[in-house]
Amino acid sequence: MKTGIFWIYLLVMFAVTYLVRVLPFVAFHKKIENKFVRSFLAYIPYTVLGAMTFPAVFYATGSAVTAAAGVAAALFAAYRGKGLFTVAVCASLAALLAGVFLQAIEMV
């Protein structure tokens, strides 16, 4: 990923996250009591972050097969309740092993 694109993504993510967090304070002067609205506002930053980063995962390795292996490993580790660091390590190792396996197949 180019550095300029990264900074654009980062600024957009910051702006969206900041606006979603600050807008309720500006628009509403009393506490929001509706549980649906409160939960909606709480999950927006995570949704935006996921929507921005998930497609980039498939271009990170240069191969759709290795990227899919990494995503599958990450989803499995996350489903099992592992922490963020463990999920990232599992995804990286799965992508690495898939790449090594694909190179070994190409040599034969």
pLDDT (0 to 100) of residue 59: 86
pTM value is 0.59
pLDDT (0 to 100) of residue 34: 84
Return the exposure string of 66-101: e unless at least 16 CB atoms fall within 10 Å of the residue's CB, then b: bbbbbbebbeebeeeeeeeeebeebbeebbeebbee
pLDDT (0 to 100) of residue 67: 94
Q: Tell me what the mean pLDDT of segment 70-79 comes to.
A: 95
pLDDT (0 to 100) of residue 106: 85
Please check whether residue 71 is in contact with residue 58, taking contact to mean a CB–CB distance below 8 angstroms: yes
CA 40 – CA 32 distance, rounded (Å) = 12
CA 89 – CA 74 distance, rounded (Å) = 8
The letter for the amino acid at 11 is L
Say which residue, 35 or 27, is predicted with more confidence. Answer: 35
CA 90 – CA 77 distance, rounded (Å) = 7
